[in-house]
Amino acid sequence: MSHIVMHRDHPLTLDQAREAAETIAAQLADRYAISHHWQDDSLYFERSGISGQIDLEPGAIRISIRLGFLLAPFKHQLEQQIQQELDAMFGAAPDGV
C-alpha cells in the first residue's frame, strides 16, 4: 500500500478552510464516485482502491491518503493533482514546500 501525506499552512479561518475542503471533496465525489463524511474537523473519504482524510487545524490543512495496489503506480500524478487543488483553494505553497 502506498501513502501520500501533505501539509499546507494557509491564511483561512477554520470555517473557510472547511468550505474549501468540502468543495474539493464534492469535486472528487462527482469525478471519481468517492464517498465522504465529516467527523469534527476531519473529512474522511473512500472508494475502492483509495481512502484517506483531510484534517483541518487553525491555519493548516493535513491530507493523508492510502492508495491500493492498483492505484500505487499513479501516486506521482495524484500528488501533482492534489498540489494543484491545494494551490487553487488555499494559495500557492511557499518555495521549498
pLDDT of residue 9: 92
pLDDT computed for residue 66 by the predictor: 96
Check residue 7 and give its pLDDT.
92
For residue 41, tell me if it sits in a domain: yes
> Is 74 a member of any domain?
yes
**In this structure, what CATH number is given to the domain that contains residue 43?**
3.30.310.80
Domain count, the chain: 1
In a domain, 19, yes or no: yes
Does 65 reside within a domain?
yes
Domain contains 22:
yes
At residue 68, the pLDDT reads 93
Q: Which residues of the chain have pLDDT under 50?
A: 96-97
Model pLDDT, residue 94: 66
For 11, residues 6+ apart whose C-beta sits below 8 A from its C-beta are 59, 91
Give pLDDT, residue 38. 95
| Structural domain for 29, as ranges | 2-89
Task: Give the residue from 55, 51, 77 showing the smallest Cα distance to 8.
Answer: 55
